[in-house]
Structure 1
């Protein structure tokens, strides 16, 4: 038996990091301006899934570093809500999410 699909207007609530990756993939570009596909990482924590892109190492060590720009997202385990966060290290992003988006958590 397959899982019930969300009704129109409902957000999917991921049950695993793999499902969160599928839900969150649409919040990031499929291809960067230089033509490379972004690598997306999922950091699971107790109340959500933090997703963020990581660039591969530059082939030319003398080239300017890439500016990742953009943001991270968190997908709530409670209701599937997607929240955008600044591009901070993962643990800092989790703390920002807890304090600004999920005060009751």
Structure 2
């Protein structure tokens, strides 16, 4: 669709949203890094978390290796009031595939549960 087509207004329809930017890491034609060890996987995973030690950021990132990839999850400082609900619930784990470097996001489950979910949902590219 040409840029001039994007700005054309059609009565009764909302404006066309801007194009979605291409995803980073491999899908835009650049080679996807494939980790060969936990340190390389952690370097890839760091790109998906706030900086360690930054205000509101994690205190540490942990790596758990499994047969299909590396699970990276954040360790957060203990809350000031442990009985209060979390200020920002949610979060995610990041898994970097050993076979192709693909990055997947999983719910913030304990590592064993997240790895089990990854095993059930992961489909290598081309499979």
Q: Which residue matches 1:3?
A: none
Alpha-carbon distance, 1:37 to partner: 3.8
1:71 to 82, 88, 92: 92
Q: Deviations over 1:1-54 (max 9, x none)?
A: xxxxx9x5211111111111111101111268x814411110011110001111
Alpha-carbon distance, 1:92 to partner: 0.7
Structure 2 unaligned segments of length 5 or more: list them. 1-25
Alpha-carbon distance, 1:65 to partner: 5.5
- TM-score of the superposition, structure 1-length normalised? 0.75
CA RMSD in angstroms comes to 2.6
Paired residue total? 95
Alpha-carbon distance, 1:83 to partner: 0.4
Q: Deviations over 1:46-78 (max 9, x none)?
A: 1100011111234x4567364552110100000
2:33 to 1, 7, 12: 12
- Structure whose alpha-carbon radius of gyration is higher: 2
Is contact 1:50–1:73 with CA below 8 Å preserved after alignment? yes
- TM-score of the superposition, structure 2-length normalised? 0.63
Q: For 2:47, what is the secondary structure of its paired residue?
A: helix
Query: Of the two structures, which has the highest relative contact order with CA contacts closer than 8 Å and spacing of 6 or more?
Result: 1
